Amino acid sequence: MQYRQIGSSDLRVSEIALGSWVTFAGGVGFDTTRACTEAAFDAGITFFDTANMYGRGEAERAWGEILSTHPRDSYVLATKVWGPMSDTDSGLSGAQIAKQIDASLERLQTDHVDLYYAHRFDTHVPIEETIEAFQRVVDQGKARHIGFSEWLPEQIEAAIELAGPELFVASQPQYSMLWRAPEARIFDLSSGIGVSQVVWSPLAQGILTGKYLPGEPFPEGSRAADPEQARFFDLVLRPGVLEAVQRLVPIADGLGITLAQLALAWALRRSEVAAVITGASRPEQVHANASAAGTALDAATLAAIDDALGEVSVTEPVPAMYVEPGVLHR
């Protein structure tokens, strides 16, 4: 395993992180979650990413039980706030952040998280209130560092103008061979303020594993076959995508790696990326993903990837799902 620094923080994390969104969206049971988590430790993965809204707290609760058997200083733990926990509990008001951090810590069985993200930007709350609430969380020792996920450039700039360069250390955008939207503005903007990228969906919802074949129905039980998950596929499943992905297979074969490992190594080629968040439903997947760490791709390989994909990748600065433009001030 290889390790990288997150922004201007003191957090050193494994290049490959284990996330729990796929686990709890896909209905993976507790025993499998434990097995995947232990496989992560065995593989040198030290970075675990979750959110309060995953399973309405169940993801945090499971990891609270599992991770409590490991020394707290042996892993880096991140969670998020913003998403709905009930019909009335959502957003980034001061009261909501204060309430949700305490609830997350209780479920996670810890007195602090290492990284606390705003899961999205809240355009209905004055940004000053949100920034002050996150600063209080840090001052109280409940989170060591703060990050944001899928904020627009103008929202990032407004937050930094208020908070200064020290509060935020990580950005969590969707990023993969098929979704390159953050390269347009987010990467450069974040680098200039000491913020690293911790990217989600580096395998494009599993499309970059090669298991979805052109002209064939989605495999039964796969996320693509699940109506609840299908909307995430629509973002990247443009015409010609599956055919283009199959053109990547010989490139991976030539390197002696899997297509998934090629995709993870591609995302990690950027120095702005501190880690890629992977999901798993089997321990074997954890070990396979971890094997991508430290894989370097030369210029010829990167050019071959671009040639294979052609024009199917999203490169324009398209907002992610659930993103609203604008910034509210007091």
**Domains (ranges, CATH) in the chain?**
3-205+270-296 (3.20.20.100)
- The 10s digit of each residue's pLDDT in 177-207 is 999 999 999 999 999 999 999 999 999 989 9
Q: Is 80 exceeded by the pLDDT of residue 24?
A: no
Residues annotated as catalytic are 54
- The 10s digit of each residue's pLDDT in 250-277 is 999 999 999 999 999 999 999 999 999 9
pLDDT at 231: 63
Average pLDDT, the chain: 93
Strand runs labelled E in the chain: 3-5, 12-14, 16-19, 47-49, 76-81, 113-118, 143-148, 168-171, 196-199, 273-278
- The 10s digit of each residue's pLDDT in 44-75 is 999 999 999 998 899 999 999 999 999 999 99
Number of CB atoms found within 10 A of residue 141's CB = 9
Contact indicator for 252, 259 with CB cutoff of 8 Å: yes
Number of CB atoms found within 10 A of residue 132's CB = 14
What percentage of the chain has pLDDT greater than the value 70?
93
